[in-house]
Each structure stands twice: as C-alpha cells, then as structure tokens.
Amino acid sequence: MLGVIQKNFSNRSKETIMPLYKSLVRPHSEYCVPIWSPYYQNDIELVEGVQRRATTLINDARNLHYEERIKN
C-alpha cells in the first residue's frame, strides 16, 4: 500500500500522508494478530519497517532520524 501511495500522490506533506496511512495502511496491519501484541523480535522489526518506510514518504521529515520522525 505504501508503494501505491508513493506512486500516485505527488504532494507528500504531512497533511496528505498521515490520513492516507491511517486509512489505507494501518487497517491492514491492525488486522494481523502479531501486531496487537508482538512477541517475537522479527515481528517487531517488521512493524517498525513499515512505519519507517511510511515516515520517509513525508518530505519534511525525510532527513531526520527515525526516532525524530516518529515524534513529529
């Protein structure tokens, strides 16, 4: 889903990406049971990988570190 957002939306401001992420990406990840209570380190890394990729789509936050992007 992140690839679809990346290819189809040229405006990558926070106001555009956040509603798209919450309406298209998050329901897919919340449907999975390991997301609710990730026990294995591999599951945690997969979830953070999706979040990391989603935060790099935002133009203003692209050059920040991952922790700073999550705070913003």
Task: Give 23-61 pLDDT, tens digit per residue.
Answer: 988 887 777 656 666 677 887 788 888 888 888 888 777
**pLDDT at residue 19, as a whole number:** 92
Task: Give 60-69 pLDDT, tens digit per residue.
Answer: 777 888 788 8
pTM for the structure as a whole: 0.70
Q: Tell me if 53 sits within 8 A of 34, measured CB to CB.
A: no
Task: Give 40-49 pLDDT, tens digit per residue.
Answer: 788 778 888 8
Nearest-CA neighbor of 49 among 63, 66, 33, 34? 66
Identify which has the larger pLDDT, 35 or 17.
17
